[in-house]
Structure 1
C-alpha cells in the first residue's frame, strides 16, 4: 500500500508540474524544441549552445551563473583556456546554485528529476546505481517503443513517454546535490537535460509555493504556440522566485498586491521591454552582486558580462532612497502623496519627527498639490552622488543560438564601452542592443570587436 501511494503521489506531482509548464495539452512541436541537453560550443569552451527558440529561459540564466562562477574563481585566468572537465564542474555548480535559490527555508529537501532506467524501482525513489547506465541506450529504448520516426542526431521521444519515465530523487543537502549531479551529469548533457533541470527546480520549489508566487495561474509557464518562457519562469531561474514582476519588493497596484524581487540578485536582468514601458526593472536586478546580466528582447534571452567589478557594488544611499520612494509611488508616476513622506523618511533612517516632516512637506510641496516629486525629494535629501562607474570598461556578450552568431559560431563578443558626459538615451530599432544597455547606463556607447552590434534576438 505504501508503494502504491508513493507511486500515485509521484504521478500526481509530475502531472501538476506538466500542467503548470505546458497547460492542459502539451504541444509536441513546442516540446521537441525544448528537448535538448546542455552542451558547450566548439568555438567557446564555456558557452552553452541553444538548438531552437524557446529554452533560452533556462539556458541563458544557467549561462549567467556559469559566467558568475568563472568571474569569481581565482584559478581561471581566461575562459578560452577552460578545459572540458572544468566546464562540467562549472555547469554542475551553476545548476546547484539555481536549485539552492529555489529551495524554501522551511523545506531543505531538494528534488532532482532523472529519466527512469530499466528495472528501476517505480516509487519515486530510484537507486543511484541504476542511473549510471548508458543514457543513449535508454533514449533509444524509449524511442523504439513509442516512435517510428527517428532523427539522425537524436531520437524523437513524445512528451507522454518522457513524463511517464520521470523519477524524483529526494536529496537533503546542497553538498549531496552537487555529488548527485556529478554522478549523473551525462544525462543532463543528453536530449532532455534542459527539461530535467527545469522540472527539478520546480519540484524543489514546490507546487504550492509556485502557485503562491505566480500572478496568473491560467497561463502556462511555457507559451503553447511560440514556446518561450514566461517572466515567472525566467524569474524562477534567475532568483528562485516565480513572481511575474521584476521591480523591487511587492507593490500595490490598483488595490492589488503584486509581488516582485525581494533582494539584490546574484545575476541581473535588463530588458528591451522596459523602454516600451511594458516592464519596470528594479535596482535588485539592474544592480546585481556580480557583473552579469541576462538581456531580454521581445523573443529571446542572451547574457552580458564584464570583468570590471566596479560595475557592481553594494546599494548606495541614493539608490536605496529611490527604491524606497518608489514603494510609495503606487502608479509609477515619480511622485508620492505628501502624507507618505514621513514613512519614506522613517524607512530610510532619516529624521522623521512630525514637526520636522511638516516643515519638509511645505518645502517639497510648495503649491500644496498633495504630491512630492522624486526630483525634489532627491535634491533635498540626496544631492548628486559621484559616479562610481568607471568611464570606460569592457563588456562581453553571449547569444546561445547558432543562427544569431557570425558564421554560426557561438562565441563571446567583446565590446569597448564608454559613458558619455550627457545622456543619449533613445529607442533605436536599428540598435536594440544599445537600447537595452541604456536602461542601465543611459549615456553608454559601445564599439564591438566584430564591427557590428551583436544580436539580442
Structure 2
C-alpha cells in the first residue's frame, strides 16, 4: 500500500497484556477508552478556550529543511507549542549527538528520534508528571478534529510508562497522526496535553482564575498557561519563581502560582522587564552540551531559531555577560533588539554580537 494513501484507524487494542510482535523493544499497546462524550468534549474545549481551533493550527510536526534540526511553523498561532517541542528536541539532540557539529547538521534518523523524545517528554514526564500520558486519537485518520462538534471522534489511549509511549509514538497510527505535515498533529498534542493533565486539575489546581483559564488566547495564539503546561507540567499563568500572595489576611489572600522548579529547558521573557509579553515564541540554544548556562564569566555561543521565519541561514550569537556596550545604560532601551533584551534577563548587562547576521528587532 502506498504510504500516502489514507488509512482508517479504529483504535489500538484494549488488551494491555497483548504485545506487538518483534524483538525491537516492543511495548504493550495502550488501553483504549470510550470516545469522548458530549460533556467530555465540551469540558475539553472549554479549557482549550475556543469552540473551534483556527485553521492555522492544522499542521503536524515536521522538519522544514531550512535548518536540519528545525521544525516548521506554517502560519501564525501555534508558535508556543512548536517552540516548546523544538526546545525539548534540541535537548534530546544534545544527549544523543556525538558532537556540537552533529547537532547543527543532524541527519534524518537522529532528528526523528529526538523529535519523538521531545513529544514523549512533554506528554509523559511533564503533563503526566512521570506517571501517565493520554493520547487522544481520532477513530479515523482522515478526521479533522478542530471543533467542538468534531472532537467526539477522539478516544483516549492510556500509556502507563515512558518507554511504552515512546515506542508507540514511532508506530502507526500515532506516528502518522502527529507527524503528517498537513495533518492535525498540533491539535492532537494540545488535546492530549490537556487530557493528560486533567481538565479539573488545570481548572482547580493550576489556574489563577478558573473562569478565564485557556490554552489559546486572543488572535489564536498560545497562552502562557499552555507553554507552562508543556515546559513544567502545570498550566500556571505566571513566569516568576514560586508563588506570590496579594491582598491581606484580613481581606483574604489571592495566591498567584509561578514556576515551582527549574525546568529541563529554560524560559526567557520580557514580561518581568516590561510588565508585558510578546506573543511569539522562538528558541535560543547552545550546541555544546558542556556549556554551563549559569556561568557569567565567559563568552557563550548561542544559536537563534525561529520556526516561522523560513530561516535559511544559521544565526549565531556571542553573548558576553557583564560587558554592556558603552552606549547603553540599562540594555533595555528602545531600539534594542527584543532578542538582546530577552538575553539580558538571563545574563545581566550582556553585550550580544550577531556575528554578521542582520539583527532581528
TM-score category of the 2 structures, normalised to the smaller one: 0.7 to 0.9
Cα deviation, residue 400, structure 1: 0.7
Distance 1:62 1:441, change over 3 A: same
Contact 2:129 2:233 (C-alpha < 8 Å) held by counterparts: no
Cα separation, partners in 2 of 1:419 and 1:171, compared to 1, 3 Å: closer
- The Cα offsets for residues 167-188 of structure 1, whole Å up to 9 and x where unpaired, read as 2111111111011111121211
Structure 1 residues 42-101: Cα deviation after superposition (integer angstroms, max 9, x where no partner) = 121220111111101211111000111112224354234322222221111001111121
Q: Does 1:90 align with 2:117?
A: no
CA RMSD of aligned residues (A): 2.5
Taking structure 2 as the reference length, what is the TM-score of the superposition?
0.79
1:16 aligns with 2:8: no
CA 160–450 in structure 1, closer or farther in 2 if over 3 Å, else same: farther
* 1:443 alignment counterpart: 349
Q: Which residue of 2 aligns with 1:289?
A: none
**Count of matched residue pairs:** 313
Contact 2:46 2:214 (8 Å CA) reproduced: no
Partners of 2:217 and 2:298 in 1: CA distance: 44
Q: Following TM superposition, by how much is the alpha carbon of 1:451 offset from its aligned partner in structure 2, in angstroms?
A: 3.0
Q: Which residue is equivalent to 2:192?
A: 200
Q: Deviations over 1:13-56 (max 9, x none)?
A: 33211111124x33xxx521111111112121220111111101
CA contact (8 A) 1:98 1:237 kept: yes
Deviation at 1:7, TM superposition (A): 4.3
Shift of 1:304: 0.8
* 1:116 is the counterpart of 2:139: yes
CA offset digits 1:231-267 (Å, max 9, x no partner): 1111101110111111222221222121111111111
SS at match of 2:156: strand
2:286 equivalent to 1:306: yes
Question: Retained in 2: the 8 A contact 1:49–1:400?
Answer: yes
Tell me if structure 2 keeps the 8 A contact 1:399–1:410: no
TM-score (norm 1): 0.63
1:310–1:390 Cα contact (<8 Å) kept:
no
Aligned to 1:245: 238
SS of the counterpart of 1:199?
A: helix
What is the alpha-carbon distance in structure 1 between the residues aligned to residue 95 and residue 129 of structure 2?
25
Deviation at 1:273, TM superposition (A): 2.2
Contact 2:103/2:287, CA 8 A, preserved across alignment: no
Which secondary structure state, in structure 1, belongs to the residue aligned with residue 282 of structure 2? strand
- Tell me what 2:333 maps to: 428
Match of 1:87, SS state, is helix
| Match in the other structure for 2:318 | 416
| Structure 1, unpaired ranges of 5+ | 1-5, 118-134, 143-156, 279-296, 314-387, 403-407
- Could you tell me how far 1:9 is from its partner in structure 2? 5.7
Residue 150 of structure 1 corresponds to which residue in structure 2? Answer: none
Of 206, 219, 229, 2:222 maps to: 229
Which structure shows the higher helix fraction? 1
